Structure 1
């Protein structure tokens, strides 16, 4: 199953920094008989959702102030763009899972703050925050993807259970729902170490990085919460070794699990096969300072600082991703199932106004959190390894977190020195 836009939500989905040879000299910048209109090249990663490529080419063709050539980029897109931004033959406008801190600090992308004058507050703040650095906006969010907990209403009712609204209740429900044929919960074939990331920390009222650039989980609550996630594994309540991983709802649809952590993209298929016999929840809160947690992510439209027509590129980005609200809704909901980045569009979109889809929008608006810009690949890897040892190996959460806090602190100090 092609993950496409939703791949950025998986823990560790960060832009690659290596160079890729021959990353694309066909920029589409020739005069091409377009008169005085500037020529722009726009890059997208290869979506798995049918019709997306045709749609973005249609949007570009409708723009009258420049000749926009769309390039559909298969392969390791993040690596391709990272390499291309260092050359004069890269894109003028490109979609990016970021921009990354290195791209911003390296002067590779253009400040787009002015493009959101008067409409900034209409963009979901959870996905706009990682596009913001030093008070400036470096990418315009396109659509939102989010993760949530699916549960079978009938199975919970038969067991006398309410939808779990705390982590303790989730641990209890997963254990009670586990039978010889069905497991209580599916968090991925690795027990959740890969997909959950920092979500349990947010559920405990913590965060990965504070506003002043320090580790946000130097708190006893972190160990207590991760110990409960470990308990799910120790209780044998988790489905492991499913035919498809967490991003695919097939385990949930086949009755292999009563509850499954997956994404919004799975909702149309779940609804088609289960009708009204399911509901959706955030990751439940834990502890007195806890709060429900919903991981979100968004690709953004960015402008290369090495482009030959930067002003024209900025005008095009504003036209498509700020002004053309009909196209933004079309891009979010006609090819796959996503939430528009604009709060007003998400509220009025017909496909998102009822049932579980409306619940997903509400959860995203009320409880969404994104991976912080300062959360570098090095910090991610260190934390990911720690989470895996706690969940799968039963390592002591206190000692593991003390070790990873030292590593993350050193990494954040390094990042701040280069700022």
Structure 2
């Protein structure tokens, strides 16, 4: 394309941008249906009896029984004055950060009890003076028992967040002028906290009912150690309305200077509750400071500041006593028509009721608004001369009544499904018989009424939300389709037997996903303005500014530096990384500090947005020296085409490989040589709800026979077991089946062991009634209808981060296995791997090997894992494939042991030419057997035939057989037969 053509294209596109209406994410103006100021929140309603243990329902019951807030405080005790404690609890002899009489609770399940005298009947709040101990980046979690029992469900897990801050402001710059995300620094200091529930679902601190007299309060550690200096039982302090607070302030002398204005950059946080509450880059010139085409962290929050209880805090100084106003420049365009709520604190306290759940309305544009009432009148705040703090906490409490009601509807729907399954025996799609009729209207005479009631209740919640948000509510279409479906089923309940359970699962998924979305409260802040005037201090970007910025960004895309993916030092080896920008920046930093400083080898760590670039670069002969973050099947594919360095040819490969479990090298081995090293591993483990299994008298299954024995009881109680339909590798390997013959030239699935394995796999669904479609095991595990199942590392992190209310109610264990005659349980299983490999075209193979050794070493992996978690929060915990490095990361002891026990049984399917047909044909065979009721043996035989055909075709291509089909050479297929007792020690 010539210069004139390029110029013409630019001008044409620029003209098109100028002609567009300002309706993008940064358009100015007021969106239709926007609301400002406090809203009327939904009332707490009585739910079915099954929800009586929820805090909202318990508090409602207490109020109905006549219990009121206590008029005065009860006891205040030093931490050392406990009544009793577990043996591992100690009292410090010396002062700890200026406080004496401190009790230390060192580990999960440790506890300490206090005896409290309540001066009168009433509802009280608990205030703790706490110092989180050394642990992971996660919050301290405790349980609170009163007189031997938990007063409500939320008391089982109460979070006490740590305090963090960015290590440096403004962020440092890299050589390209982009800012580097700052590391996180924990502020280890005492905090005085009224206890709130883990997800901030209540607008007030938790209340505890105490009759007049003596009571025992037990504090139990759930996660993370902590020190306790003081426990106080306090009377709740009702918040005044704004009018009351303002009346007192207006009586004070107002010395605020007219026209005084202070601007606080939102990215300059003084403190925050979670490392994942981060500075963000707007990538435009509409936030301050302008990015000008660089990566500038000029905002904070966004989607990473959305979980209930996540908070951030800023400090500011006012020159004189007086009345001031607070404005925010914010962007809330994450979910159409949905409001994000924040609890707003001034100097550590919510000054009046209207700031408990303050709404930030949806808008496609940047907004500049004052904190104001529902009529648009700004709130005035009285500040004394000096330093003050303003804190914002994500507060989904406004939607709690609706979310709890929706969850009760989900449970009611599931109960109907369970009853239908018990009557008909239909547990999945394969059991549906369209030729058989059931008279469910007679067998379950109340089913139609229950379905109508569910539809009515669901409609009521949709109406409630529309009243809260005042708009059409994105996402409600899915709820409306469920309402339509429920009413339709109520008209013809006999047809329930002909509806596959998967259709009901889809309806349930729509509701549970909506519940989850309501609990998220994302918000982006650019600036906070403190001024002596109620007038807006600045205007949001106007149409011309927005269009000008869009045009400027468009022209910047033609700059060679627009997409900066890393360093380009010609003296360095090139490393491409298939991960996010934060990972790449930290890897470059560590490489500069550790690897280059010691070896003198310079490294260019570059972001690879799309792994498909490797194929294109290979075709063009422009590969990097090293590629990282590569999926497990890719190295073998490149090795077959002679594109990778054989790592096992390096003299020290044997000692390097000892850092990994032998089974993790199988997917990277081709024809007897190893072409990649593992980076991360996502193991399969067994997840189980300890609370639910205990309630129905079951234990987690140790073998498949244990699972078969527990399923009848589990399913009769309305629960089920989760097993992903394509997770067949454990079953085949545990039964001694091989996916390929020893010479690697034929499928090994025509053996007796393979047929038995395939039969076991398919019968889990056709005989034992496991669900064939489960869109989200996490959601079902969290709601409790699938209290046990097999899943991987990602599920663990979801539960740890997004389901704090379940802390202490679930555990993990090795997956079920097959018991040998000697009593050993065989638990072979695989899991997704990522890897690092060196390209054969590299002119610096030895330097690349030195880098790959450094990167996968115990020291580097443990340091990187620790720092990436500190940088981004516990949800970024690094699942390293280096066993010793894994042991050094902040995993809880019990979970670490379960993972290591399963890890020694790690084994995956080997890679051979044409091997991609094996999972494909097994999937087809499963579908025909389970969903189409075909004979399992015939379907596996058909799959084997197709697999062998493709294997032969690829073997001819790679020279293992000649055109006549005669064997030219055999393939070396890796295998291990015994579990590893340690890294590299079979």
Deviation at 1:40, TM superposition (A): 1.9
The aligned residue for residue 370 of structure 1 is 908
The aligned residue for residue 250 of structure 1 is 779
Q: 1:384 aligns with which of 896, 908, 923?
A: 923
The aligned residue for residue 39 of structure 1 is 572
Deviation at 1:101, TM superposition (A): 3.1
Q: 1:295 aligns with which of 800, 821, 830?
A: 830
Q: Distance in 2 between matches of 1:326 and 1:312?
A: 19
Kindly indicate whether residue 624 of structure 2 is the aligned counterpart of residue 88 of structure 1.
no
Larger Rg over CA atoms: 2
Deviation at 1:56, TM superposition (A): 2.0
SS in 1 for 2:763: helix
Q: 2:679 aligns with which of 142, 148, 155?
A: 142
Contact 1:174 1:184 in 2 (8 A): yes
Higher helix share: 1
The aligned residue for residue 689 of structure 2 is 152
Contact 1:165 1:285 in 2 (8 A): yes
Contact 2:749 2:755 in 1 (8 A): no
Contact 2:577 2:606 in 1 (8 A): yes
Q: Could you say which structure has the greater relative contact order, defined with CA pairs below 8 angstroms and 6 or more residues apart?
A: 1
Q: CA offsets, 1:274-321, max 9 Å, x none?
A: 333323344423586983232133211111112343332222222222
Q: CA offsets, 1:322-355, max 9 Å, x none?
A: 4xx2221244564434543233333x32534611
Contact 1:174 1:232 in 2 (8 A): no
Matches within 5 A, 1:71-110: 71-75=606-610, 77=611, 79-95=612-628, 96-98=630-632, 99-110=634-645
Q: Distance in 2 between matches of 1:314 and 1:395?
A: 51
Q: Distance in 2 between matches of 1:393 and 1:170?
A: 25
Q: Distance in 2 between matches of 1:299 and 1:292?
A: 22
Kindly indicate whether residue 750 of structure 2 is the aligned counterpart of residue 218 of structure 1.
yes
SS in 1 for 2:836: strand
Q: Distance in 1 between matches of 2:932 and 2:706?
A: 23
Unaligned runs of 5+ in 1: 2-24, 33-37
Q: CA offsets, 1:46-73, max 9 Å, x none?
A: 34xx942332232333332333222222
The aligned residue for residue 11 of structure 1 is none
SS in 1 for 2:826: coil
SS in 2 for 1:369: coil
TM-score (norm 1): 0.78
Q: Distance in 1 between matches of 2:953 and 2:919?
A: 15
The aligned residue for residue 186 of structure 1 is 722
Matches within 5 A, 1:18-417: 38-47=571-580, 51-62=582-593, 63-64=595-596, 65-75=600-610, 77=611, 79-95=612-628, 96-98=630-632, 99-113=634-648, 114=650, 115-178=652-715, 182-187=718-723, 192-194=724-726, 196-213=727-744, 214-234=746-766, 237-239=769-771, 242=774, 244-246=775-777, 249-271=778-800, 272-286=804-818, 291-322=826-857, 325-332=858-865, 334-335=868-869, 336-346=876-886, 348-352=887-891, 354-365=893-904, 367-374=905-912, 376-417=915-956
SS in 1 for 2:885: helix
TM-score (norm 2): 0.35
Which deviates more from structure 2 when the two are superposed, residues 395-404 or residues 223-232?
A: 223-232
Q: Distance in 1 between matches of 2:758 and 2:693?
A: 24
Contact 2:635 2:837 in 1 (8 A): no
Contact 1:339 1:361 in 2 (8 A): no
Q: Distance in 2 between matches of 1:253 and 1:105?
A: 44
Q: Distance in 2 between matches of 1:382 and 1:230?
A: 14
Q: CA offsets, 1:384-415, max 9 Å, x none?
A: 21123333333322111111122223333444
Q: Distance in 2 between matches of 1:148 and 1:84?
A: 37
Which deviates more from structure 2 when the two are superposed, residues 118-127 or residues 219-228?
A: 219-228
Deviation at 1:131, TM superposition (A): 1.5
Q: Distance in 2 between matches of 1:30 and 1:55?
A: 17
Contact 1:200 1:283 in 2 (8 A): no
Contact 2:698 2:710 in 1 (8 A): yes
Contact 1:148 1:282 in 2 (8 A): yes
Structure 2 CA distance for partners of 1:71 and 1:399, relative to 1, 3 Å = same
Structure 2 CA distance for partners of 1:236 and 1:167, relative to 1, 3 Å = closer
Q: CA offsets, 1:72-113, max 9 Å, x none?
A: 2224x2x22122223232221102224443311211111122
Contact 2:711 2:768 in 1 (8 A): no
Q: CA offsets, 1:128-149, max 9 Å, x none?
A: 1221223322111112221222
Structure 2 CA distance for partners of 1:173 and 1:41, relative to 1, 3 Å = same
Deviation at 1:262, TM superposition (A): 1.5
Q: Distance in 2 between matches of 1:287 and 1:220?
A: 18
Contact 1:112 1:137 in 2 (8 A): yes
Q: Report the number of matched residues.
A: 374
Contact 2:725 2:772 in 1 (8 A): no
Structure 2 CA distance for partners of 1:295 and 1:152, relative to 1, 3 Å = same
Higher strand share: 2
Q: Distance in 2 between matches of 1:163 and 1:152?
A: 9
Which deviates more from structure 2 when the two are superposed, residues 198-207 or residues 222-231?
A: 222-231
SS in 2 for 1:193: coil
Contact 1:230 1:391 in 2 (8 A): yes
